[in-house]
A and B are shown apart, each in its own frame.
Chain A
Amino acid sequence: MIIGGGMAGCGAAFEAKYWGKDMRVVLVDKAVIERSGATGEGLSAINCYLGQRYGWNTPADFVKYVVNDMMGLAREDLVYDVGRHVDASVHLLEAWGLPIWKKDNGTYERIGRWQIPIHGESIKPITAEPARKALGEANLYERVAITHLLTDAEHAGRIAGAIGFGVRANTCYIFKAKAVIITAGGASNVFRPRSTAEGLGRTWYSVFSTGSAYGLMIPIGTEMTQMEHRFVPTRFKDGYGPVGMWFQYFHARVTNAMGEDYTVTRADELQKYAPYGMAVPTPTPLRNHQMFLDIQAGLGPMYMHTEEAMQQLSGGDPAKLQKVREEAWEDFLDMTIAQAMTWAAQNIAPEVTPSEVVLAEPYIMGSHSGEAGAWVSGPADLAPPEYFWGYNKMTTIQGLFAAGDGVGAAPHKFSSGSFTEGRLAAKAAVQYVHDHPAVPTLPPDTVQQYQATIWAPLETFETYKGASTAEEINPHYLTPKQGLVRLQKIMDEYAAGTSAWYTTNGPMLQRGIELIQMLRADLQHLGARDLHELLRCWELWHRTWVGEAHMRHLLYRRETRWPGYYYRADYPHLDDTHWRVFVNSRYDRLGDSWALETKPFYVATVVKLFV
């Protein structure tokens, strides 16, 4: 069973049916896989491509880059595993119809060392098509939202299936499965975003990504890792259009209002974060940090000088300028159309007018530049013993696998790497099912309890709606939107969101945890007027699990490893001596308690970074 039909889920479906031709493989998605998930809107680049066939990079090069960008913490075995396979995935996508930009000699065009530009408006339908064909229509459950994972009646450490409901039909779905692969999304809208009214949906990461990867796995006691990590993207202001093309392909500068380039004026700051700060390229959080120092000093707005870059690239040649103009607009129209709208509405022609950039609100994810997720087994030929328990990408729950946003400590996968990781998880899951043919047992009373739990918000609303003349002001329930706002306020103010200037400390986090525990208790009193609001209720549950896990991990890691993403005011320095370790957590549902511990980082597994 595959939960989630994004890039990782489609990869898992494709791969599972190759190795497990005779197995029944089902994929469940709360939407329709042609446009579901974070890449549904499209993409203008594939950000994970090694180019092994061109001799551009080796998997070891990729590991070195990723570990440094993460300030020294990523699982080398997992990163290497994605890196060594990802090119094949990209070549397959191209064969299925994804147009990739080419140089005159036929090789792929490049944006940066790992990034290639694509005409990617249709990357998701192109990816979904073979997955749909491989599975067969009867095995694709669309518009079904999974709310809970189910563990075996006789062995709580083994997966048994999952339960959910039809988003558009009053139907409860119970899946019994020998193996389950979590490819659901990371988390947007856990933190209060910078736009809070209509713009609540214009989050940087997909608003459809509701933290379900974590919200499903945490409650059954799956061991999680690096849940304290978040990604704060520097993006074009408000529309959150991508900046990679501008930095790397067009070579544009960002300056403050005085015209100063923070990468120059704040260069010395990097020395505080040696050895990572001294490497090229500068890690993403440190580039944020340099810019943030300018913002804190009152030197904004920060401007991306598109006009300067476009004039330099065209050199006064109108034909060249037109080419760059078309490339610049495509960058947004392929993947972040709202940014094109923002330019048009603000009369911004990029060849004339620079554009503001900002640091966005934090996102908790495992696929892009974030590394939150499950603690999974590595591949047999790469993982040291402590990172290996039999099946690649298997979590600490037997038979439960993860990929994409679901896997922790394995960042920089992006679209192609998530698709690849889904494939890796699926092949291992087929192995697992071969080795463990016993059918899991679902405890019948548990299933009935879950059914009652799933429908409860509808019942609550019907029971209590008469207690008030106003549907939205009622002492007996919260609407899912009200609950979301409460979550976002807690996270923003206590867990180093934008209004707190990405800064927190131990007592703030302890207070935030007190408040989120009360929120989690209050979620028992959600009220839903219809199935659509019921979907929002369960998305909120998942987001709230993410928020609590994030704060507990933030509290546990007593250092500031990723300045520019967050600052622990009480532990303001990077502390490699004590904290170059992974932080892992497990939730115990019986005691409603969390256990946190560290896991060692193995330096020598793949490459020695700084020798």
Chain B
Amino acid sequence: MPTYVDPNACNACAGVRQGPLCVYICPNDLMILHPALNKGLNREPEMCSECYACVKLCPQDAIGVRGYADFVPLGASVQPTRVEQGLHWTVRFRDGRELQFTYPSRSTPVGSSIPYTDFTEDPVQDLRTQVLAGDSLWLGVDSLPTLNPR
């Protein structure tokens, strides 16, 4: 299938600025709203890489994944829920066993990055050199290695 949408849980992201978030985020342009049902739909499952971008973003937890029919036996599920600065995973085996994992995925608040903080490279003076922006702060060694200085 790969991703599928539970019609009872999907509300088409009513009121969300970007529109339906699965449609917004899908890297392969797969998710649309079902024309009749007005619910999320994977229109081209054979181009789905089960990347879970939509699953992770769905505010209603309405999207699941049924493993590829080509090789995945029925009955298992792998489902994430977002927790503070990470994801919690529930892995259910075909035989009913269940595993729970929580992993961090970001150490800073979303939106907190500030480009070029404290960078010292001069955009004019250093333009023709080999240094990159922020090298003096972030390279970790005193000077950029080279072989044949010109």
Determine if chain A interacts with chain B.
yes
Contacts of A134 in B (CB 8 A): 115-116
Q: Tell me, yes or no, whether B144 is within 8 Å of chain A by CB.
A: yes
Q: Tell me, yes or no, whether B17 is within 8 Å of chain A by CB.
A: no
Q: Could you tell me if B123 and A18 are in contact, using CB atoms closer than 8 angstroms?
A: yes
Q: Could you tell me if B53 and A345 are in contact, using CB atoms closer than 8 angstroms?
A: no
Contacts of A139 in B (CB 8 A): none
Q: Which of A93-101, A297-305, A448-456, A579-587 contacts B (4 or more CB under 8 A)?
A: A93-101
Contacts of B148 in A (CB 8 A): 381-382
Q: Could you tell me if A201 and B2 are in contact, using CB atoms closer than 8 angstroms?
A: yes
Contacts of A347 in B (CB 8 A): 93-95, 97
Q: Identify A121's interface contact among B1, B105, B132, CB under 8 A.
A: B105
Contacts of B138 in A (CB 8 A): 87-89, 91-92, 95
Could you say which interface size class chain B belongs to? 35 or more
Contacts of A167 in B (CB 8 A): 29
Q: Could you tell me if A119 and B71 are in contact, using CB atoms closer than 8 angstroms?
A: no
Q: Could you tell me if B71 and A342 are in contact, using CB atoms closer than 8 angstroms?
A: yes
Q: Produce 1/0 per residue, B122-150, CB < 8 A to A.
A: 01000110101111001111001111111
Q: Tell me, yes or no, whether B77 is within 8 Å of chain A by CB.
A: yes
Q: Tell me, yes or no, whether B9 is within 8 Å of chain A by CB.
A: no
Segment 320-363 of A: residues with Cβ below 8 Å from B: 326, 329-330, 333-334, 337-338, 340-342, 344-347, 349
Q: A340-B78, A380-B150 are in contact. Are A40 and B53 (CB under 8 A)?
A: yes
A-B contact count (CB 8 A): 259
Q: Could you tell me if B53 and A207 are in contact, using CB atoms closer than 8 angstroms?
A: no
Q: Could you tell me if A198 and B115 are in contact, using CB atoms closer than 8 angstroms?
A: no
Q: Could you tell me if B94 and A346 are in contact, using CB atoms closer than 8 angstroms?
A: yes
Q: Identify B147's interface contact among A15, A126, A424, A606, CB under 8 A.
A: A606
Segment 41-96 of B: residues with Cβ below 8 Å from A: 43-53, 65, 67-78, 80, 86-87, 89, 91-95
The residue of chain B having its C-beta at the shortest distance from the C-beta of A16 within the complex is B133
Q: Identify A238's interface contact among B71, B114, B135, CB under 8 A.
A: B71
Q: Tell me, yes or no, whether B25 is within 8 Å of chain A by CB.
A: yes
CA distance A381 to B75 in the complex (A): 58
Give chain A nearest CB distance to B100 CB in angstroms. 10
If over half of A's interface residues share one DSSP class (helix, strand or loop), that class is named, otherwise mixed; here it is helix
Q: Could you tell me if B106 and A122 are in contact, using CB atoms closer than 8 angstroms?
A: yes
Q: Could you tell me if B145 and A198 are in contact, using CB atoms closer than 8 angstroms?
A: no
Give chain B nearest CB distance to A274 CB in angstroms. 27
Q: Identify A382's interface contact among B49, B76, B146, CB under 8 A.
A: B146
Number of interface residues of A (CB under 8 A): 92
Q: Could you tell me if A34 and B25 are in contact, using CB atoms closer than 8 angstroms?
A: yes
Q: Tell me, yes or no, whether A468 is within 8 Å of chain B by CB.
A: no
Contacts of A34 in B (CB 8 A): 25
Contacts of B119 in A (CB 8 A): 18
CA distance A134 to B116 in the complex (A): 9
Q: Produce 1/0 per residue, B1-38, CB < 8 A to A.
A: 11000000000000000000000111111000000000
Q: Identify A41's interface contact among B24, B49, B113, CB under 8 A.
A: B49
Q: Could you tell me if B106 and A31 are in contact, using CB atoms closer than 8 angstroms?
A: no
Q: Tell me, yes or no, whether A130 is within 8 Å of chain B by CB.
A: yes
Contacts of A238 in B (CB 8 A): 68, 70-72
Give chain A nearest CB distance to B86 CB in angstroms. 7
If over half of B's interface residues share one DSSP class (helix, strand or loop), that class is named, otherwise mixed; here it is loop
Q: A198-B1, A344-B94 are in contact. Are A87 and B76 (CB under 8 A)?
A: no
Q: Tell me, yes or no, whether A366 is within 8 Å of chain B by CB.
A: no
Q: Could you tell me if A344 and B93 are in contact, using CB atoms closer than 8 angstroms?
A: yes
Q: A84-B144, A85-B135, A381-B130 are in contact. Are A18 and B67 (CB under 8 A)?
A: no
Q: Identify B86's interface contact among A36, A84, A119, A195, CB under 8 A.
A: A119
Q: Could you tell me if B94 and A41 are in contact, using CB atoms closer than 8 angstroms?
A: no
Q: Which of A51-59, A406-414, A439-447 contacts B (4 or more CB under 8 A)?
A: A51-59
Q: Tell me, yes or no, whether A434 is within 8 Å of chain B by CB.
A: yes
Q: A329-B99, A346-B73 are in contact. Are A88 and B104 (CB under 8 A)?
A: no
Q: Identify A195's interface contact among B70, B121, B132, CB under 8 A.
A: B70
Segment 87-126 of A: residues with Cβ below 8 Å from B: 87-89, 91-92, 94-99, 119-122, 125-126
Q: Tell me, yes or no, whether A32 is within 8 Å of chain B by CB.
A: yes
Contacts of A423 in B (CB 8 A): 132-133
Q: Tell me, yes or no, whether A275 is within 8 Å of chain B by CB.
A: no
The residue of chain A having its C-beta at the shortest distance from the C-beta of B56 within the complex is A121
Q: Tell me, yes or no, whether A21 is within 8 Å of chain B by CB.
A: yes
CA distance A30 to B30 in the complex (A): 12
CA distance A344 to B78 in the complex (A): 8
The residue of chain A having its C-beta at the shortest distance from the C-beta of B117 within the complex is A95
Give chain A nearest CB distance to B106 CB in angstroms. 4
Q: Could you tell me if A97 and B128 are in contact, using CB atoms closer than 8 angstroms?
A: no
Q: Tell me, yes or no, whether A129 is within 8 Å of chain B by CB.
A: yes
Q: Could you tell me if B76 and A341 are in contact, using CB atoms closer than 8 angstroms?
A: yes
The residue of chain A having its C-beta at the shortest distance from the C-beta of B32 within the complex is A532
Contacts of B149 in A (CB 8 A): 381
Given A238-B68, A341-B76, A346-B73, 10 other A-B residues pairs in contact with their CB atoms under 8 A: A40-B27, A84-B146, A87-B141, A88-B135, A92-B138, A203-B49, A207-B49, A337-B78, A379-B130, A427-B133
24 contacts between A and B (CB under 8 A): A32-B25, A35-B53, A40-B51, A52-B145, A58-B145, A60-B145, A88-B132, A88-B139, A96-B113, A97-B108, A120-B105, A122-B106, A134-B115, A195-B70, A199-B68, A201-B48, A206-B49, A334-B103, A341-B50, A341-B78, A344-B94, A420-B132, A427-B133, A434-B127
